[in-house]
Amino acid sequence: MATPDEKMTPLQHAAQNRCFGCGPANSGGLQLEFLLAEDGSVVSQANISDDFCGHPGYLHGGIIATLLDETMSKAVRASGISSMTRHMEVDYLLPVPSAKPLRMEGRVVRIEGRKRWTDARILDGEGKTLAHAKGLFVEVHPRAADRP
C-alpha cells in the first residue's frame, strides 16, 4: 500500500497515551501509528481485527468514524497544534473490511484562527476510497493544572 518513493516520518506518541485510537498504553484500543508525509498530510496503515466488526467481515460504522476522526486529528497535530473535534461528516462509500490492509490519509485544508478544517479517507489495498470525512477541529490549550 505504501509506495517506495514515499518519504514519511513517524509521529511520536507518549508511552502513557491511553487514546482509544492511537494510544500505545491502551491494550483494548486500535493503537494506530501515523506517519507525516512531505506535503504535511498524515498516513496510517493498519489491519483492524474482526474484534471491531459490525456486520461479519466488515468494520462497525463507529470504528470507521473513529479511524477518520483520528486521522484528521493527527493531521492537525502534525503542525504542533492540540485540538478537539468540533464537527465531522462521514460518507460511508463502500463496506470497510476487517482484517485486511487499510490506509488512512488525512490533511488540513483550511486554517482560520483556532479552527482547522480537515479531510480524511480510508482506502483499501487497491487504493479504492471506502469512506471519506470532513471535519472541523478547534485548537485547545492545556489546562493550567496540566502544564509543566
**Within a domain: 2:** no
Q: How confident is the model at residue 3 (pLDDT cuts 50, 70, 90)?
A: low
**Within a domain: 118:** yes
For the chain, the domain total comes to 1
**Within a domain: 22:** yes
Residue 112 belongs to a domain with what CATH number? 3.10.129.10
**Within a domain: 71:** yes
Which amino acid is it at 64? I
With beta carbons less than 8 A apart as the criterion, state whether 26 and 19 touch: yes
**Within a domain: 30:** yes
Give catalytic status of residue 119 as yes or no.
no
Q: What is the pLDDT of residue 38?
A: 92
Specify burial of residue 110 (Cβ count, 10 A radius: 0-12, 13-18, 19+).
Answer: exposed
Percent of all residues in the chain with a pLDDT value above 90, rounded to a whole number: 72
**Within a domain: 1:** no
pTM of the model: 0.89
- Separation between Cα atoms, residue 21 and residue 139, nearest integer Å: 19
- Separation between Cα atoms, residue 106 and residue 74, nearest integer Å: 8
For all residues of the chain together, what is the average pLDDT?
A: 90
Domain that holds residue 25: 8-143
Q: What is the pLDDT of residue 146?
A: 59
State pLDDT tens for residues 103-144.
999 999 999 999 999 999 999 999 999 999 999 999 998 765
State pLDDT tens for residues 58-88.
999 999 999 999 999 999 999 899 999 999 9
Of 51, 69, 91, 119, catalytic: 69
With beta carbons less than 8 A apart as the criterion, state whether 42 and 106 touch: yes
**Within a domain: 89:** yes
**Within a domain: 73:** yes
State pLDDT tens for residues 30-50.
889 999 999 999 999 999 999
Across the range 8-28, mean pLDDT stands at: 79
- Separation between Cα atoms, residue 15 and residue 23, nearest integer Å: 8
Which residue has better confidence, 14 or 136? Answer: 136
